Chain A
Amino acid sequence: MLGFLRLNEVSHIAGRVDSVFIFITAVGLFFFLLTQGSLIYFALRYRRRKKEEEAETPYITGNFMLETVWVVIPSLLILAIFYYGYVVFMEIRTPPAGAAEIVVTARQWMYQFKYPDGRQEVNQVRVPVGKPVKFVMTSQDVLHGFYLPSFRVMQDILPGRYTYLWVQPMKEGTYDIFCTQYCGTGHSEMRAAMVVMAEKDYQAWLTGEKKAEAKPLAEQGEELVEKSGCLSCHTTDGKPKIGPTFKGLFGSTSHFTDGTSAVADENYIRNYILQPNVKVIKGFQPIMPTFKGILKDDDITAIIAYLKTLK
């Protein structure tokens, strides 16, 4: 039960989070002892004894020096806490390049994990030890949470957009995934497991018996692109047509006619498919039709996976 005091070794980031925690605890403990100690000491030391004449008290109304000290010193300490927290947060928000991607679809009250090769698992995800993995997450209904207590990280999952969470597990084992954003009756039973496997076990699973179900996500996306008519206006070979080419599109920067620009990440592409022409790309006409009602959320996720392969 005292495990919560141990510095975490499950991942590097978890250790960093715990370090910030310990730093804040140290600063907090200092102020706790200082203030509570004074409080209790003064309450007892200057206590009015029942029978004695009330002691004369000094007429002290303030002290500018003291006020300054206990404004300046706490200010410096809280800035330090902020900064340390900020630094670690930036590490948490920056997935390493080349992290394996797993698509997570949350809904009341389960998690569906989709691997790049088309496999799916419900309420369980397998990853190899030592390698970074990035979860690309969306919800099919209401808000959900995705919390890995052992890894000290969490992220909400929203409908209508993608959010991300990455971890690099350094120890084999099975770790809890909890839903932390209230989502209805089954909220407290919405749990999954992340199974971190030794490399050879993971490879065995990857190449082993595979249920003949879904094709790899990227392959599904390629099929959708072909049959949804995207190729009437877009190419995959680098040449612009009526719309920009898909080759190299994901991750590139689009420049719009209003002078702004944006990086084409998952949310950008999803938004553009559903609500094109809100911002018009320089050099192209605002004539892309919307695919709202034609392409489902899962379809768009697959198309994005395909676009990522067109480097």
Chain B
Amino acid sequence: MMQETAFEQPASRGYLAEKGFRSWALTLDHKRIGVMYLCTTLLFFLVGGMLGLLIRLKLMYPGEQLLSNHAYNVIFTLHGAMMIFLFIIPGIPAGLGNFFIPLLIGARDVAFPRLNILSYWVFVSGILVILGTLVSPMDTGWTFYTPYSATTGAAVTALSFGLFLVGMASILTGLNFVVTIHKLRAPGMSWNRLPLFIWGMYATSIINVLATPVIGITFLLLACERLFGVAFFDPTKGGDPLLFQHFFWFYSHPVVYVMILPAMGVISEIIPVFSRKPIFGYWAIAYSSLAIAFIGFLVWGHHMFVSGMSTVAGVIFSFLTFFVAIPTGVKVFNWIATMYKGSISLDSPMLYALTFIFLFIIGGLTGPFLGALGTDVRLHDTYFLVAHFHYTMMGGTVMGLFAGLHYWFPKMTGRMLNEKLAKIAWFFIFIGFNVTFFTMFILGMEGMPRRWAQYPPRLQPLHIVSTVGSWILAVGVAVMFANFIRNIFKGDPAPANPWRGLTLEWRTPSPPDTENFEEIPVIKDWPYGYGKKTGAKND
């Protein structure tokens, strides 16, 4: 197999040893907090996913079959809001980030452990408020555009408060991570020896801290308009519906980089390990994370080309939008170059990492069609857009999450996953994903608008194909989760370093003890020295 050392039994349950509800609910251990975030966000991934399956089921029929228009509209709103706010945004950062940032930088915990557990409970309280709004569920779409969201009878005000709390949690976590990365790096871990996952998380955390307040305030303004009639967005009283869109997208565009940068960080960790080669272009990848974060703040108007925004603004936003492709391309080229003349093993983490690259390239290459003014007028708010963001968010971020989960499962649980099952799941996920979502590019080009409960019957064959794809995807996800759940309890004991990685988490037992390291390590080299001729073995 993979390791050269003797097969180790887990000596102890490490950070998982202490049992009881309070030991989890009031924990200060970043690893437990990370696990709780992962469980919560993955739960909403599954719920949101089932809503997605329901959407696809209804869309097999062009008329008002299976679900009423209103029920469908509520379901796609919940699908989007749940997936985005309760799964993708917190997913990798609060889950894998919490668990692994201190480990990767050689620290015992984050800078503010109490703030950390507080963030989790603020997140949960936001979720409870949001779930409470289901008594009067919204159908505004996850983007809540005014005037509809300001005037509809549904529980938009309560939802605004719930999302404010969820956003608050992101801000606190982001703050925690920025300070942690600056202040708690082990001796000898200079910035040029920082793992690229940390660079990615650093850029992500800066975006979280700077951008999230804007959406928080936007929700408060919306609540004010609904409760007190203060007309920020109501044109009959001198307000402007476009103002809402500007505020909304000023956050929601940077947030897509919050979604993708951690995933890219995971990929930057996995590719070198499974190619047994140093990462190609370390500084290019590190700086590209910062560049993406920066440029990401300048391009929000590309969601508004046909909104009524001025032509001049459209031209400027289109121009700036294209620049985000450059640092993104640098990462993709560098990952592929890392594989050149490597010794590549296609274990499940690597399989998912390669899938990330493959699907994200497709998602990324369909971006220019939307960023270019001349084609956006044809494709905006059609299924082409829906396909684009599912390729980048699911083909990208979610595959990155899956890759990270498979990579770090042994470290977090002390057990190995079943590789065969992992590969079977992967196969169904890959096929199912592409059948479901590639079809949507074609639907968009045929003129199918998004958020349509009913559609012209001539488009039905394509919709049926997409729905069948969603079933294949669901099978894959089910098998994958079965693999996770079974092996948390019954998996083979995992060695400390099953993949022979060079980053610091692999120097701890699987699972790690609560204090992470017996002694804080002193760092003498960067973590990508695979194949380096030092005379010493890589382990």
Complex CA distance for A1 and B457, rounded to whole angstroms: 12
Q: Which 6 A-B pairs have the closest CB atoms?
A: A160-B235, A149-B447, A85-B372, A88-B374, A89-B373, A188-B452
The reply to whether the CB of A56 lies closer than 8 angstroms to some CB of chain B is yes
Cβ of A123 to closest chain B Cβ, rounded Å:
15
Complex CA distance for A160 and B145, rounded to whole angstroms: 15
Q: Which residues of B contact A189 (CB under 8 A)?
A: 69, 454
Cβ of B348 to closest chain A Cβ, rounded Å:
14
Q: Which residues of B contact A4 (CB under 8 A)?
A: 442, 445-446
Task: Name the CB-closest residue of B to A35.
Answer: B361
Q: Which residues of A contact B277 (CB under 8 A)?
A: 57-60
With contacts A17-B375, A155-B306 taken as known, whether A182 is within 8 angstroms of B346 at the C-beta atoms is: no
Q: Which residues of A contact B242 (CB under 8 A)?
A: 158
Complex CA distance for A71 and B327, rounded to whole angstroms: 8
The reply to whether the CB of A180 lies closer than 8 angstroms to some CB of chain B is yes
Q: Mark A31-45, 1 if CB is under 8 A from B, else 0.
A: 110011011001100
The reply to whether the CB of B336 lies closer than 8 angstroms to some CB of chain A is yes
Q: Which residues of A contact B334 (CB under 8 A)?
A: 67
Complex CA distance for A155 and B308, rounded to whole angstroms: 7
Q: Is the CB of A159 within 8 A of B236?
A: yes
Contact check: which of B73, B278, B330 meets A185 at CB < 8 Å?
A: B73
Q: Which residues of A contact B308 (CB under 8 A)?
A: 155-156, 158, 161, 163
The reply to whether the CB of B284 lies closer than 8 angstroms to some CB of chain A is yes
Q: Which residues of B contact A262 (CB under 8 A)?
A: none
Residues 144-185 of A at the B interface (beta carbon under 8 Å): 145, 147, 149-150, 152-156, 158-161, 163, 176, 178-185
Complex CA distance for A219 and B219, rounded to whole angstroms: 45
A75-83, A247-255, A280-288: which one contacts chain B?
A: A75-83
Task: Name the CB-closest residue of A to B305.
Answer: A89
Complex CA distance for A308 and B385, rounded to whole angstroms: 39
Cβ of A290 to closest chain B Cβ, rounded Å:
11
Q: Which of A71, A78, A79, A145 has the most CB of B within 10 A?
A: A78
Residues 125-150 of A at the B interface (beta carbon under 8 Å): 141-143, 145, 147, 149-150
Task: Name the CB-closest residue of A to B77.
Answer: A182
Cβ of B453 to closest chain A Cβ, rounded Å:
5
The reply to whether the CB of B358 lies closer than 8 angstroms to some CB of chain A is yes
Q: Mark B43-83, 1 if CB is under 8 A from A, else 0.
A: 00000000000000000000000000110010000000000
The reply to whether the CB of B342 lies closer than 8 angstroms to some CB of chain A is yes
B33-41, B261-269, B315-323, B422-430: which one contacts chain A?
A: B315-323
Q: Is the CB of B322 within 8 A of A182?
A: no
Q: Which residues of A contact B323 (CB under 8 A)?
A: 78
The reply to whether the CB of A228 lies closer than 8 angstroms to some CB of chain B is no
Complex CA distance for A178 and B279, rounded to whole angstroms: 49
The reply to whether the CB of A119 lies closer than 8 angstroms to some CB of chain B is no
Task: Name the CB-closest residue of B to A53.
Answer: B343
Contact check: which of B139, B275, B326, B377 meets A89 at CB < 8 Å?
A: B377
Cβ of A214 to closest chain B Cβ, rounded Å:
24
With contacts A42-B344, A57-B531, A187-B451 taken as known, whether A79 is within 8 angstroms of B322 at the C-beta atoms is: yes
With contacts A54-B276, A88-B373, A142-B148 taken as known, whether A46 is within 8 angstroms of B339 at the C-beta atoms is: yes
Q: Is the CB of A46 within 8 A of B374?
A: no
Q: Mark A79-101, 1 if CB is under 8 A from B, else 0.
A: 10110111111101100000000
The reply to whether the CB of A205 lies closer than 8 angstroms to some CB of chain B is no
Q: Is the CB of A180 within 8 A of B358?
A: no
Q: Mark A182-209, 1 if CB is under 8 A from B, else 0.
A: 1111111100000000000000000000
With contacts A17-B377, A70-B333, A182-B451 taken as known, whether A61 is within 8 angstroms of B354 at the C-beta atoms is: no
Task: Name the CB-closest residue of A to B532.
Answer: A59
Q: Is the CB of A48 within 8 A of B341?
A: no
Q: Is the CB of B372 within 8 A of A178?
A: no
Q: Is the CB of A61 within 8 A of B280?
A: yes
Q: Which residues of A contact B315 (CB under 8 A)?
A: 86, 89
Cβ of A52 to closest chain B Cβ, rounded Å:
9
Complex CA distance for A109 and B208, rounded to whole angstroms: 38
Complex CA distance for A90 and B373, rounded to whole angstroms: 9
Q: Is the CB of B148 within 8 A of A183?
A: yes
Q: Is the CB of A185 within 8 A of B235?
A: no
The reply to whether the CB of B141 lies closer than 8 angstroms to some CB of chain A is yes
Q: Mark B444-465, 1 if CB is under 8 A from A, else 0.
A: 0111011111111000011000
Q: Is the CB of A57 within 8 A of B368?
A: no
The reply to whether the CB of A259 lies closer than 8 angstroms to some CB of chain B is no
Q: Is the CB of A3 within 8 A of B446?
A: yes
Q: Which residues of B contact A38 (CB under 8 A)?
A: 336
Q: Mark A296-308, 1 if CB is under 8 A from B, else 0.
A: 0000000000000
Residues 218-234 of A at the B interface (beta carbon under 8 Å): none
Complex CA distance for A27 and B366, rounded to whole angstroms: 11
Cβ of B423 to closest chain A Cβ, rounded Å:
14
Cβ of B333 to closest chain A Cβ, rounded Å:
5
Complex CA distance for A24 and B368, rounded to whole angstroms: 7
Q: Mark B116-151, 1 if CB is under 8 A from A, else 0.
A: 000000000000000000000001110001011001
The reply to whether the CB of B389 lies closer than 8 angstroms to some CB of chain A is no
Q: Which residues of A contact B342 (CB under 8 A)?
A: 42, 46, 57
Q: Which residues of A contact B329 (CB under 8 A)?
A: 31, 70-71, 74
Instruction: Show 15 residue pairs from A and B whose CB-CB distance is below 8 angstroms, ordered by the A residue.
Output: A20-B372, A21-B369, A24-B372, A24-B375, A70-B333, A74-B326, A75-B326, A86-B319, A89-B377, A145-B381, A156-B306, A158-B308, A161-B235, A161-B308, A188-B455
With contacts A158-B308, A184-B148 taken as known, whether A85 is within 8 angstroms of B343 at the C-beta atoms is: no
Cβ of B322 to closest chain A Cβ, rounded Å:
4
Cβ of A26 to closest chain B Cβ, rounded Å:
11
The reply to whether the CB of A275 lies closer than 8 angstroms to some CB of chain B is yes
Q: Is the CB of A187 within 8 A of B278?
A: no
Q: Is the CB of B374 within 8 A of A85?
A: yes
The reply to whether the CB of A47 lies closer than 8 angstroms to some CB of chain B is yes
Q: Which of B323, B333, B377 has the most CB of A within 10 A?
A: B377
Complex CA distance for A89 and B316, rounded to whole angstroms: 13
Q: Is the CB of B339 within 8 A of A42?
A: yes
Q: Which residues of A contact B530 (CB under 8 A)?
A: 57
Q: Is the CB of A152 within 8 A of B372?
A: no
